[in-house]
Structure 1
Amino acid sequence: SKEVSTIKEENVNLEKTVKDLNDKLSKQEPKNNIAKEPSIKDKSNLYPIYTADTDTYKKQIDAYIYIPKELELKQKLDTLAKALSEAYFDNLPIQVVNIKDVDNKKVAVINLDESSENQGISDFSKLKGSTWATKYFQGSTGGTITSTQLIETMLQRDYSGQWIDGVKFLYKNKDCNF
């Protein structure tokens, strides 16, 4: 019947669409090169993203990100900041402002800002959506986990190559008061 042949034709088209979409999906890189389990043989370009255990507050590795070794130090920090923002902090801005030399130590200055919809709002009760002030630094557990994720991931204490010696976080370009 004509109805059956129309349905068969639609089915062939749908199968082709599914195959095309699966092909596209397999070609896309994982988001930000973040992997829960590193599979790359050369582990020197894998940088851990840290979090803290909610019971003990002990730092632990949550994931890894691949960063090409050719990148300058600031670009590597920018890559870590972007990965943290996208994977853990609802895309809230994390900007590596600069790397300062303080007593012969390299200190990264990193600014945490609110989303564009919350720009210019100083009354925390009027902030909308995910925010540094009312979500990620709220309470002792949340604040501790957020601090560990930011500080330990940016410091990369176990990395043996050239890296920063310290980190200073700003909130809206001013000293943090969380």
Structure 2
Amino acid sequence: PESVFRLLDRGADVSAAAYPLKHIDWAKVQRAADAKRQNLASSSLDYVVTWEGEQIQARDGFAKVRYAGTGFLLLKRSVLVRMCDAHPELKYRANHKTNDLNTGDLVRADLDRVSLFECMIDKTTGEYLSEDYAFCRRWLDLGGEIWLDLRSELTHFGSYAFRGRFADQLA
């Protein structure tokens, strides 16, 4: 719960915490061991983040980023409203059935939806942007900011429990 409270207390329109990728970079483990990092496991992981620039400029344990994974993301409702209004080209109509929330009856889900997480190709660089990064890009294109919590420790489960705190890489 502490990680959730950190994002809430930040009060940013969009904030996230970095979680580890599900792999081990053994060369990075060796470099972390050679540097005598305090938390070898955490400081040896790669994280789902792309930085705004060359230098990480942290303020109160948060740094502005270009892209962040959305697996641990907090955003204000106003962000979604603004993005939906700005992207009418991403609207679609679902053609499947769902349960009515009031009656439980099976009904056609013909609500308009907006695919804000639709993958995209960056028109300038030709870079493929996954659903997480495409969402971030759309928000940045509207003048928004994304703040990453460097201090929260998260676990990303895969073939192993990849537990990490990005700040351990900075120590």
TM-score by length of 1: 0.23
TM-score by length of 2: 0.24
Higher strand content, 1 or 2: 2
Between structure 1 and structure 2, the one with the greater Rg is 1
Q: Does 1 or 2 have the higher relative contact order (CA < 8 Å, sep 6+)?
A: 2
Higher helix content, 1 or 2: 1
